[in-house]
Amino acid sequence: MMQLSLAQFEVARADAAANLARIAELAAEASAAGSDLLCLPEMCTTGFDWAYNRAHLDAAADDAAAVSALAKAHGIAICGSMLERTDSGNAANCFHYFDARGELCARYRKLHLFTLFHEERHVEAGEQCVSFETEFGRIGAAICYDLRFPELFRRNTEAGAILQVLPAAFPHPRLDHWRSLVRARAIENQNYFIAINQCGVEGHGSSVGETQYFGHSMVVDPWGEIVVEASEEACLLQVEIDPSLVSKVRSKLSAWEDRRGDLFHL
């Protein structure tokens, strides 16, 4: 069995210190509850103020190191998406997974950039899918807008992933899409899907307005059943899952084995 904590909170825009303080509180609470893994939302250390993020790039590694230290101090694995500086000096939206010793097990840079909000103007896209082994099974990484592109999750599952983790900042009015797509990704790949969303309001200035994130962080099992789902309010969801359910579901319904990979080349 695996104990999860999903941290749904309002990320403080352009305030890494405030966000790291909040993450420290959440790590302590999740550890005290006996969780094996704390899952954080998208851009959890800085939010989406790209002028601030550009100026903050050199400190991004220190933010990641602070999260690593929290994982080690509390003996809990921590994952989430956060700002990263690339070798070319650009910003990246990068998933990090630190194990309970604080060691970095995986990094995944967001493949699909959200052109509706012009993310491609500010972020260097990733170039590869990432899945990685943990003591609970192989995990596939994705971030927010990636949810709309099923090929990524197919590739992760073909690589052996039995859990998919997606930090996100999904806003209104796309709640129905969120709930439908998270379940679909779990059903079609017959694995667990762990989706952690921001909540609250992010202000972008008078010329742009506000974004209302709707929360509804959720865990869906390999049958497509919702194991737990949040409301729109900030919370720390606690849930236990059974990774062995993946093989049990696939033995009862052989859709994964029956796929025609010889015809559909990803």
Sign of CA dihedral 87, 53, 29, 132: negative
252 is catalytic: no
Catalytic-labelled residue, pool 10, 42, 84, 202: 42
158 is catalytic: no
Catalytic-labelled residue, pool 79, 94, 129, 144: 144
Concatenating the DSSP letter of every residue in the chain gives: -EEEEEEE--PPTT-HHHHHHHHHHHHHHHHHTT-SEEE--TTTTT-S-HHHHHHTGGGHHHHHHHHHHHHHHHT-EEEEEEEEE-TTS-EEEEEEEE-TTS-EEEEEE-SS--GGGTGGGTBPPP-S--EEEETTEEEEE--GGGGG-HHHHHHHHHTT-SEEEEEE--BTT-HHHHHHHHHHHHHHHTSEEEEEE-EEEEE--TTT-EEEEE---EEE-TTS-EEEE--SS-EEEEEEE-TTHHHHHHHHSTTTTT--TTT---
Catalytic-labelled residue, pool 10, 79, 84, 110: 110
Which distant-in-sequence residues (6+ apart) come within 8 Å of 24 by Cβ? 70
39 is catalytic: no
Catalytic residue IDs: 42, 110, 144
